[in-house]
């Protein structure tokens, strides 16, 4: 499979009947692999890419029960950012953002990374103090952050409601200029293509139904297409982490909830940043096609379905109209849901498990898509070296036992609230 280039584009333009090669193969599973990755989403694909690129491990299989891009990697609001304040999260997400900045070149695939900036609007003086603290922590860690007063926000985002009758006042904002969005489908396809070119087998429509464990050590997986032996097995299944881990005898501190996302009919360009709101968890950006893409909190009940409830649609619509009154005249085009693994402290797991040679990547709460590059980078390191990378050392399963919670949201160990 050749790399994409200006030459290949010209060649195909001159010969329209010349077919483009498939982006990745559809191989039959081999009897055994050095590493089997359970889950063909963004994190699983990124892990395979970095196993090959950083560690020279290419005898790898990615097992996806459906098709590549069918899970959360294609069911999100595409935001990338690194405006975190807890120690482990600050370094991890900044590394992820740096990888995003060069990802298209790394993968030889246009991931449509758009560093348009994120503006988080404050609705009270107290919230401005909180944003000042967050911004100072970011800048002390070499991360870009700007604190904006009300007048600066009005110049940057003139379409917000600044009237005296506004439901919530705009007091200021925190701005990360390097934040933005990336095309979620392109990210999945780019990582898949790159991993395949390195020799990784991507096996779609192959559901893992169990784990082969002997003397406390994983030796392979049982699948809908037969047993596959493995030296190491890595779980990266997003919203089904607790369900899959249970098959290996693990009980995780994770709840599964649905997170809905929405997109409107196309509009002329108006929202040139990612805009978030301090009055409620609400975030919005405008896609290249013109639609307003936005979302809010998870639905507050446990579920594995991908269908949301009307109450959350109402809440998110109220946020949109309160912040940007013009959205009341815009028609909703569609909405969808992804399954979120919610941990008690709102931070993820990238670690070894009590089962030897079995590794865990999950519990991403709202953070999964933006973490994709760094997640793959550090998970690949953990698998290859059987020890964590410095950036994921704190994302362990035993942190609750040891009192090392990473409570990024600052509301305590209440899984359903994260």
pLDDT in tens, 402-415: 999 998 877 677 66
160-175: average pLDDT: 96
Those residues with Cβ within 8 angstroms of residue 161's Cβ, 6 or more apart along the chain or in another chain: 167, 170, 322, 323, 324, 325
Tell me if residue 62 falls in helix, strand or coil.
Answer: strand
Whether domain 118-180+256-342 has CATH 2.60.40.1180:
no
Looking at per-residue pLDDT, the higher value among 46 and 86 belongs to 46
Q: Where are the beta strands (DSSP E) in 246-400?
A: 255-264, 274-277, 282-286, 292-295, 332-342, 349-352, 358-362
Contact 187, 111 (CB under 8 A): yes
Quickly state the pLDDT bin for 418 (edges 50, 70, 90). low
Chain Cα centroid distance, residue 235: 16
Single pTM value for the model: 0.97
If we measure between CA atoms, which residue out of 174, 154, 408 comes closest to residue 276? 174
Edge to edge, what strands does the sheet with 118-122 contain?
Answer: 146-149, 172-176, 118-122, 274-277, 282-286, 292-295, 255-264, 332-342
Instruction: Give the model's pLDDT for residue 416.
Output: 54
Query: What are 368-387's pLDDT values in tens digits?
Result: 999 999 999 999 999 999 99
Q: Does residue 261 register a pLDDT over 80?
A: yes
Question: Domain 27-109+184-253+345-417 falls in which CATH fold?
Answer: FAD/NAD(P)-binding domain (3.50.50)
390-400: average pLDDT: 96
Tell me if residue 100 falls in helix, strand or coil.
Answer: helix
Element (H, E) at 51: helix 42-55
What is the number of alpha carbons within 13 Å of residue 200 lying toward its C-beta?
Answer: 32
Q: Does residue 299 register a pLDDT over 70?
A: yes
Contact 28, 206 (CB under 8 A): no
Give the CA dihedral 132, 135, 139, 145, nearest 10 degrees.
Answer: -120
Q: What are phi and psi of 338, to 5 degrees?
A: -125, 155
Instruction: Give the model's pLDDT for residue 16.
Output: 83
* CA distances for 247 relative to 63, 177, 209, 241, 242, angstroms: 16, 43, 8, 10, 9
Quickly state the pLDDT bin for 183 (edges 50, 70, 90). very high
Q: How many CB atoms lie within 10 A of CB 217?
A: 11
Element (H, E) at 321: helix 310-323
Q: Does residue 367 register a pLDDT over 60?
A: yes
Rounded Cα gap, residues 329 and 321, in angstroms: 9
Domains 27-109+184-253+345-417 and 118-180+256-342 share a fold: no
Least confident of 62-71, 176-185, 408-417: 408-417
DSSP state of 325: G
**Start-to-end CA span in the chain (Å):** 43
298-323: average pLDDT: 90
Quickly state the pLDDT bin for 253 (edges 50, 70, 90). very high
Query: What are 22-64's pLDDT values in tens digits?
Result: 999 999 999 999 999 999 999 999 999 999 999 999 999 999 9
Instruction: Give the model's pLDDT for residue 409.
Output: 75
Domain ranges of the chain: 27-109+184-253+345-417, 118-180+256-342
Instruction: Give the model's pLDDT for residue 191.
Output: 98
Instruction: Give the model's pLDDT for residue 142.
Output: 97
């Amino acid at each position: 499979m050749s790399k994409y280039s200006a030459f290949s584009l010209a060649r195909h333009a001159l010969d329209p009947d010349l077919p483009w090669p498939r982006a990745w193969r559809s191989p039959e599973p081999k009897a055994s692999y050095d590493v089997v990755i359970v889950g063909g989403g963004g994190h699983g694909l990124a892990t395979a890419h970095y196993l090959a690129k950083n560690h020279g491990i290419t005898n790898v299989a990615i097992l996806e029960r459906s098709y590549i891009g069918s899970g959360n990697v294609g069911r999100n609001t595409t935001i990338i950012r690194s405006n975190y304040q807890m120690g482990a999260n600050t370094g991890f997400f900044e590394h992820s953002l740096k990888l995003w900045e060069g990802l298209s070149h790394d993968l030889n695939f246009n991931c449509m990374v758009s560093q348009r900036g994120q503006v988080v609007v404050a609705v009270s003086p107290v919230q401005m103090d909180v944003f000042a603290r967050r911004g100072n922590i970011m800048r002390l860690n070499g991360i870009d952050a700007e604190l904006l007063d009300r007048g600066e926000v009005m110049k940057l985002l003139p379409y917000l409601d600044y009237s005296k009758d506004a439901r919530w006042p705009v007091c200021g904002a925190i701005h990360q200029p390097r934040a933005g969005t990336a095309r979620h489908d392109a990210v999945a396809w780019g990582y898949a293509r790159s991993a395949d070119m390195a020799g990784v087998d991507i096996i779609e429509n192959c559901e893992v139904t169990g784990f082969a464990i002997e003397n406390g050590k994983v030796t392979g997986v049982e699948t809908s297409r037969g047993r596959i032996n493995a030296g190491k097995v890595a779980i990266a299944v997003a919203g089904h982490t607790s369900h899959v881990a249970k098959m290996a005898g693990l009980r995780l501190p994770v709840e599964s909830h649905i997170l809905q996302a929405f997109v409107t009919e196309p509009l002329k360009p108006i929202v040139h940043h990612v805009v978030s709101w301090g009055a409620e968890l609400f975030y919005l950006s405008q896609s290249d096609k013109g639609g307003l893409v936005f979302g809010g909190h998870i639905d507050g009940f446990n579920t594995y379905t991908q269908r949301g409830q009307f109450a959350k649609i109402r809440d998110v619509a109220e946020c949109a109209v309160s912040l940007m009154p013009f959205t009341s005249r815009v028609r909703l085009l569609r909405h969808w849901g992804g399954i979120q693994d919610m941990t008690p402290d709102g931070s993820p797991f990238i670690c070894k498990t009590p089962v030897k040679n079995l590794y865990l990547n999950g519990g991403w709460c709202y953070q999964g898509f933006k973490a994709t590059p760094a997640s793959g980078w550090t998970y690949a390191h953990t698998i290859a070296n059987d020890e964590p990378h410095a950036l994921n050392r704190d994302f362990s399963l035993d942190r609750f036992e040891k009192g090392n919670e990473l409570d990024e949201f600052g509301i305590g160990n209440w899984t359903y609230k994260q």
